[in-house]
Structure 1
């Protein structure tokens, strides 16, 4: 990490997800372009090419997966994607690719944590409904709807966790070494 400062900002869940998606797509484009520029040269047969190529592939795959997850999350009822969360980031005047990827994974983690809090709140509502001696038809339907929403969101949060793990494993080679 170069020179910089730590900055805390308020950002909505959906903005965290979309900003991360945009940054990951940008990094995927950069790495793909770098790989393309190495093809057809002696560099194509080096370990650097291999690292660049693997990074590009992983970024492209995870960018696509993230788009799917965001679409699924937007469809799940009962979650406030406009709720703001506090995000603490390292910022520098000239962020490296690693800094930019770390920013994206920080956004994803913040969104995931905030959505998990909402899942926990829904699970608590379900638990309260289950404590009632008898449920009328409306309460039973509400309980089932809440459980389904929480289950669907947890599936997407697991996918988000997998994406974050894949992104954290990416290596960026130096430009000259």
Structure 2
């Protein structure tokens, strides 16, 4: 029986097969998802030793899956390897250094894959501090008398948070573009 259950979320069959073939035989049970939505559904159904997540996915992007994982404390502890052929697309959304997950550039070889998995496992064990990332408010059961009016207020606050997060993401992207432009001009 495989001791480690790994989920590979990638829209390219070749990458999913490549990961399966590069892992040492017998130690791993590999489940596959071809898009973000399918991957997130599997994450909610199973407990994984490791998640390998492509950043550019159909139906639900890797960024959106990443946000869902980070929003749940039990999932946040799962070792994570984010894969992409274009690292700048990842750094537009998540700034370096990547403290709690590992990045694996595509294409990759077996040595790089194993190294990324080991690094992700080590990073997942690091103690987490409160992040500055904004997450949608998760309402808690309320037994107080004011519980009746809070639903509309919470929804309004969640909408404001989502709007602010979108503005922050846009500003980060613009800042990355400005820095890239300046670096090109300085050369």
TM, length-normalised to structure 1: 0.26
Q: Which has the larger radius of gyration?
A: 1
- The structure with the greater share of residues assigned to helix is 1
- The structure with the greater share of residues assigned to strand is 2
